């Protein structure tokens, strides 16, 4: 038995377990019972609010990643400066 067969067996078992959970049916039931009865105005307001949250979250993630990148560059520069002596 090679490595590929091991990973294929693990993937197949995981796929079987997840398919038994029926996420699609649960999500459809949730949408039909809570979202469909809402008026269209609330659906649009919710979509706009959700898009604002996603945009602000993405901007925040980019800012934090940029700060991390700057810190890593500074650390690398200090290490190179110390070993260059």
| In contact, 13 and 5? CB cutoff 8 Å | no
- Give dist(CA 35, CA 45) in Å, integer: 12
Q: CB under 8 Å to 38, separation ≥6 — which residues?
A: 46
Span 27-43, mean pLDDT?
A: 91
Inform me whether the pLDDT recorded for 85 exceeds 80.
no
Q: What is the DSSP letter of 77?
A: H
Instruction: For residue 1, name the pLDDT band (cuts at 50, 70, 90).
Output: low
pLDDT tens per residue across span 62-82: 999 999 999 999 999 999 999
Share of residues in the chain with pLDDT > 70 (%): 99
pLDDT at 29: 93
Q: For residues 1 and 32, which has the higher predicted lDDT (pLDDT)? A: 32
């Amino acid at each position: 038995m090679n490595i590929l067969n091991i990973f294929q067996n693990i993937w197949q078992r995981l796929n079987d377990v997840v398919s038994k959970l029926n996420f699609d049916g649960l999500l459809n039931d949730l949408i039909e019972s809570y979202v469909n009865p809402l008026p269209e105005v609330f659906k649009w307001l919710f979509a706009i609010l959700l898009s604002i949250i996603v945009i602000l979250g993405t901007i925040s993630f980019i800012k934090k990643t940029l700060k991390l990148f700057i810190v890593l560059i500074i650390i690398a520069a200090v290490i190179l400066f110390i070993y260059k002596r």
